[in-house]
Structure 1
């Protein structure tokens, strides 16, 4: 009985994982199409135009003719590497900041412990002077 439940659980995890991967791929495609539109409008603002067959989505749905091929998203080909460069740079910066924070978090308790130990030594020295009558 337990083996069946484990297999069912593993199957559910696999299904959910594939669902998340599919959702990510579709979301990334939709965002790439939208950002291509922004890039086309930016290029247009500088006075240059990208031909329409290179700036449209690759497929379009028309209820009368179903799916049809409309062209290629050429701007996506150009701005995709830029996004990857930004992503890699951001990951490196994040890792660097995370390393600095980890070092500070590791050294802070040591510094506090050292300060407390130093304070205890000073207090012990003062107490010894009081006990031996040399507190003046």
Structure 2
């Protein structure tokens, strides 16, 4: 058996996202290990790792019930979060990322959310680029 000071910790996708958001806001990690961890997560976000797609989907679904939030405004805010985290515009990556993101949103959302997302996707299926 090996013993270590800090056992391997599995971070939930939403926790990784929150830590990256703090780092982007200048409230980030302080130790070299924490900085390296967040830097790795940012790189993984830019590579569209499944945890990052899941975290974006969780962000969208969890904010869907906010007062005054429409699906359109929610999707815009989700893509803005993508841009904030990765520091790049989502348009060049939309065709690759959107199907997985919308599928995760569909899987974790409740039935009314799924119905609204399905309707929105059907209405926007002729658009293959990022429309905001």
Give the TM-score normalised by the residue count of structure 2.
0.23
Q: Relative contact order (alpha carbons < 8 A, sep ≥ 6): 1 or 2 greater?
A: 2
Give the TM-score normalised by the residue count of structure 1.
0.22
Structure number with greater Rg is 1
More helix per residue: 1
